[in-house]
Structure 1
């Protein structure tokens, strides 16, 4: 029996390694933020999960991705295709992530997202002005910083952000930015997704962020393809060449159950 998760991970490693250019230059960032995300992948369950994220910031540019995705990318980039394949697969299994996206923002005016559907990578750009903030007079101390509250609607959710002008960068986790200071806490109104700043270091850091070759698309098309995959992941795998020699019905049942309990993405496409 071919295990679907293992096949998908192997194809991810192969595609990433084969799709890269061998030589590329790092990008130097001046600030590294660590955010801790608490989220509920199943909207019908009270069981939460946590994952850490990096937000790298320099003048007029930032990079946001999960810590484990960052570690995966670094390991895949450094791996020699044949001799290190076994070690690479072991490393990937030890550093799983629920979030494959990589988000680059240019001063909040241009927001590029690279995300994976099965083993294909797609890129799309947000419509300019995707965030319309409402500032309030509420203040509090958040993660050790004096902060002010602001709200916005995005991705089918109402969001509350706490930002601090002590760190004068108009940045924040995920696709959020545009406030007069760093967002140190961000949560939707149902508290199904909550990012909290867990660390900040102001020192230069070279980041190698080479992603595989991507298919450029628009956001609507990407979310449509994502929904199609979630509705029939086995069918998509078989169309890409995966053959289940035995136990197909068991695999289908297991994958369908996993998809059923993964019904609460961070963002819904509403436009």
Structure 2
């Protein structure tokens, strides 16, 4: 593990924990879905990765985040008194995620994403009407449910969704919604991102709102620009925030740049 990455991780852990001193509000959800994502972080490689995701739904809103992010947030919230800090850090390192975003939908035209750049959290709203679906007559069975196919374009990709009216909620993974049933499979045209439903439970579940208190509200275009600025100069931005490299700066810079170069295939390429 890069020393720079370890420093950033520990700073994030401490700041997040300090920001959760107050008891977070709790939201009740009626449906809990699990999705398995298979994705290719490097578009030039044939090596894929997998990560589980959670989608919680009630009549007013939904919450979508990676399972590891959910476990991290829950552990940080439970350890906000500072006890067992070493155990907490070990737990967080064990449950690392490639996806820090937290997506809350109040209907398909009111979507807010909270995401991280380095150790700062930003929140932005999705534009209304960000999805224009084309329904087809194609049908199949996905995860044991009868499903119908629909297509759309979003974030610089073409997407294919299979939804089921057997679960009559207009929801789905990531920022996808607006169909007459739950989206149970979502795949981009290059098959670089593939979400598949692998579990659904209808039972009440209390989920604490673990959104960091120190979150900067911005717009999506600004968030994407800041993320690109960080990717272009991660070590410089770390130094601006107070990180001091006593030795090995060039080696750390080279390693981080190589890591960023191989992480070239985000789920969204553009803000349109």
Name the SS of the counterpart of 1:186 in structure 2: strand
Structure-1 separation of matches of 2:34 and 2:135: 24
Name the SS of the counterpart of 1:75 in structure 2: helix
Structure-1 separation of matches of 2:24 and 2:217: 20
Measure how far apart 1:61 and its partner are. 0.5
Correspondence 1:166-245 to 2 at 5 A = 166-212=166-212, 213-245=214-246
Cα pair distance change 1:83/1:60, threshold 3 Å: closer
Alignment check: 8 A CA contact 2:109 2:127 kept: no
Q: What's 1:266 paired with?
A: 267
Cα deviations by residue, 1:172-216 (Å, 9 ceiling, x for unpaired)? 000000000000000000000000001000000000122112100
Structure-2 separation of matches of 1:79 and 1:211: 15
RMSD: 1.1
Q: TM-score, normalised by structure 1?
A: 0.97
Cα pair distance change 1:101/1:149, threshold 3 Å: same
Unpaired runs of at least 5, structure 2: none
Alignment check: 8 A CA contact 1:16 1:211 kept: no
Structure-2 separation of matches of 1:108 and 1:270: 17
Cα deviations by residue, 1:9-42 (Å, 9 ceiling, x for unpaired)? 1111111112235123210000000000000000
Cα pair distance change 1:178/1:80, threshold 3 Å: closer
Structure-1 separation of matches of 2:143 and 2:237: 43
Name the SS of the counterpart of 1:100 in structure 2: coil
Q: Could you list the structure 1 runs, at least 4 aligned residues long, displaced by more than 3 angstroms after superposition.
A: 80-83
Structure-2 separation of matches of 1:80 and 1:129: 39
Alignment check: 8 A CA contact 2:224 2:271 kept: no
Unpaired runs of at least 5, structure 1: none
Alignment check: 8 A CA contact 1:131 1:152 kept: yes
Q: TM-score, normalised by structure 2?
A: 0.97
Q: What's 2:252 paired with?
A: 251
Name the SS of the counterpart of 2:190 in structure 1: coil
Structure-2 separation of matches of 1:88 and 1:166: 41
Q: What's 1:64 paired with?
A: 64
